C-alpha cells in the first residue's frame, strides 16, 4: 500500500451506485489513533474536477461554464477591438483551457450540457467584429477553430492511443480489451465493448470511446508515433466545424 498519511477530517465517502442503500459507516484512524466516522457527501472536488454521486458532472460543467463566461466578459470589457490573431491567442490561452481540463474524465453526454459548453465558444467567436455577422459554423471556419465537441472526441482518441501503445502507464481498474481477432472488419486494434446497464456507465471513458475508436482507419490507429497519430486523425472523415448537437 502507499505510505501516505491521510487527514481523516478531510476524507469523505461518496456513493456512485444509485441502488446502494447500505447504511454502513466508514471510519478512519486520525492522528491521535482514534477512529472517526467519515461523512457521506453527494459531491466532492478532486484534482480540479467536481464528482457527483450520479456521475453526470453537471456541477462541474456549470462551474467551468460560469468561470469561462466571466473571463469572456472581462475580455469583452478590456478590448475595444480584436483582430482574428489577437482573439485566437487570448481565447486559446485563457478561455478554452477552462473548458477542456480533464475532459476524458467528465466529458458531457447530456445534450443540454454539450450545448452549454459550446455556447461559450459560440459567444466568444462573436468578439471578432469583422466576422460576428456570420453563422457559428462559418465563424469557426474563418478562425480555423474546431468545435469543442470535436476537440473532446479528438482528445479521447489521443488518450486511447496513449493507453494502448504504452505512452501513458495507467493502472486501469477496468482496462481496455481488444476485440476477437477473428473479426475481419475494421482495423487490427478494435476494442471490445462491454455490456452496461446504466447510462452513466455507458458514457464513462473506457466504454464511451469504443465506437469512435473502432471507426478509425487502420492507418490511423497503427501510427508509429503520437505525432503521426494526431496527423492521421486530421485525415479522418470528421467535420471540424459542424456542431452535431445543434442548438
Q: Which of 91, 174, 100, 167 is nearest to 126 (CA)?
A: 91
pTM exceeding the 0.85 threshold for the entire prediction: yes
For residue 1, the model assigns a pLDDT of 47
Record the cell numbers describing residue 145, joined without a space.
477553430
Q: Can you give the chain as a three-state secondary structure string?
A: CCCCCCCHHHCEECCCCCCCCCCCCCEEECCCCCEEECEECCEEEECCEEEECCCCCHHHHHHHHHHHHHHHHHHHHHCCCCCHHHHHHHHHHHCHHHHHCCHHHHCCCCHHHHHHHHHHHHHHHCCCHHHCCCCHHHHHHHHCCCCHHHHHHHHHHHHHHHHHCCCCCCCCCCCCCECCCCCCCCCCCCECCCCCCCHHHHCCHHHHCHHHHHCCCHHHHCCCCHHHHHHHHHCCCCCCCCCCCCC
For residue 20, the model assigns a pLDDT of 63
At 13, give phi and psi (nearest 5°). -115, 130
Record the cell numbers describing residue 175, joined without a space.
482496462
Q: CB pairs under 8 A, 24+ apart, for 87-94?
A: 87/124, 87/125, 87/127, 87/128, 87/143, 88/143, 88/144, 88/145, 91/124
Q: pLDDT 10s digit of each residue in the chain, 247 long?
A: 456 778 888 889 888 876 666 667 888 888 888 888 888 899 999 999 999 999 999 999 999 999 999 999 999 999 999 999 999 999 999 999 999 999 999 999 999 999 999 999 999 999 999 999 999 999 999 999 999 999 999 999 999 999 988 888 777 666 788 887 766 577 889 998 888 888 888 888 889 999 999 999 999 999 999 999 999 998 887 777 666 554 4
Q: How far is CA 68 from its chain centroid?
A: 16
For residue 234, the model assigns a pLDDT of 87
Residue with cell 478509425: 216
For residue 58, the model assigns a pLDDT of 96
Record the cell numbers describing residue 6, joined without a space.
491521510
Amino acid at each position: 500500500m502507499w505510505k501516505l498519511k491521510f487527514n481523516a477530517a478531510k476524507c469523505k465517502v461518496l456513493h456512485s451506485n444509485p441502488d446502494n442503500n447500505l447504511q454502513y459507516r466508514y471510519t478512519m484512524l486520525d492522528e491521535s489513533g482514534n477512529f472517526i466516522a467519515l461523512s457521506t457527501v453527494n459531491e466532492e472536488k478532486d484534482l480540479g474536477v467536481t464528482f457527483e454521486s450520479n456521475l453526470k458532472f453537471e456541477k462541474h460543467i456549470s462551474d467551468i461554464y460560469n468561470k469561462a463566461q466571466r473571463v469572456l466578459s472581462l475580455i469583452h470589457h478590456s478590448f475595444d477591438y480584436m483582430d482574428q490573431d489577437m482573439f485566437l491567442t487570448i481565447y486559446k490561452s485563457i478561455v478554452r483551457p477552462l473548458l477542456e481540463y480533464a475532459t476524458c474524465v467528465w466529458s458531457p453526454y447530456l445534450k443540454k450540457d454539450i450545448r452549454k459548453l459550446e455556447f461559450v465558444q459560440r459567444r466568444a467567436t462573436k468578439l471578432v467584429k469583422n466576422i460576428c455577422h456570420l453563422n457559428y459554423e462559418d465563424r469557426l471556419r474563418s478562425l480555423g477553430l474546431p468545435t469543442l465537441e470535436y476537440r473532446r472526441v479528438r482528445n479521447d482518441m489521443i488518450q486511447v492511443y496513449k493507453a494502448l501503445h504504452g505512452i501513458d502507464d495507467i493502472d486501469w481498474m477496468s482496462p481496455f480489451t481488444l476485440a476477437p481477432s477473428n473479426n475481419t472488419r475494421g482495423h487490427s486494434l478494435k476494442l471490445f465493448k462491454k455490456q452496461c446497464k446504466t447510462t452513466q456507465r455507458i458514457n464513462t471513458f473506457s466504454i464511451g470511446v469504443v465506437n469512435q475508436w473502432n471507426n478509425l482507419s487502420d492507418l490511423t490507429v497503427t501510427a508509429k508515433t503520437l505525432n503521426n497519430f494526431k496527423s492521421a486523425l486530421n485525415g479522418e472523415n470528421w467535420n471540424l466545424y459542424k456542431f452535431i448537437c445543434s442548438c
